Amino acid sequence: MPSCCYGDEYGSMFDPKEASRTASRFRRRGLRGSARELVNVLASVVPPGSRVLEVGGGVGQIQVALLEAGIVSGAVNVDLSASWDEAARALMAERGLFDRIDRMVGDFVDLAPGLPEVDVVVLHRVVCCYPDWRAMLEAAQAKAKRVVALTVPRDRWWMRVGIRVVNLGLRWRGVSFRGFVHPPEAMIDLLSSAGFSLAHDSTGSVWRTVVAERAPAPG
């Protein structure tokens, strides 16, 4: 899965070998942890035939799970790096999903104005990879007709200390990307101001999973 990173360094940190390992783990064990929780929640709130856009979906295991469960009918993945593509396309082909998932490489915030609206936008463990959480979430809610689902680190002192230590190590190694612990409550407030209400909000030991539904238009 993608971890906390940004920009051109993404591909150098999470290379095709990492992508291959991620795909292999998914083949052996399926979804685990917060990814499995997120898919289970979406199964209860997303109407059949929906389309999903996932930002930073890596090899696309969440998209595959949603498609195979019949929760969505098609998917789009936007990722900062092409390093995941070979493993992702192999996974899509062996599951017979090659024509149901579109993959794009680039910065979602930059690409968003040209992307079509979808029913669901998924931001699983990716907001922590991006320095401007507000721009990413504004772009996500603008593209989501029904649901925005996100998984973010818990905003706790020990989490901030841990990310700071990781970032210091990356700086020492000469790696320029950084991880972030952005404020989940501010993210929920942004979604609320855009007309979304919470359908699910749970906190584990590390991650907080939030699923928000857009209120239907009046009359």
**One-letter identity of residue 214:** R
Q: Radius of gyration over alpha carbons of the chain, in Å?
A: 16
Q: Which residues, 6+ apart, have CB-to-CB distance to 59 below 8 Å?
A: 19, 22, 23, 26, 84, 87, 88, 91
Alpha carbon separation from 35 to 19, 85, 115 (Å, rounded): 16, 20, 24
Residue 71 CA to residue 185 CA, distance in Å, equals: 28
Ramachandran angles phi, psi of 154, nearest 5° = -60, 140
Q: Which domains does the chain have, with CATH numbers?
A: 9-214 (3.40.50.150)
pLDDT in tens, the chain (219 residues): 344 444 456 655 567 888 899 999 999 999 999 999 999 999 999 988 999 999 999 999 999 999 999 999 999 999 988 889 999 999 999 999 999 999 999 999 999 999 999 999 999 999 998 999 999 999 999 999 999 999 999 998 888 888 888 878 877 877 777 888 999 999 999 999 999 999 999 999 999 999 999 987 655
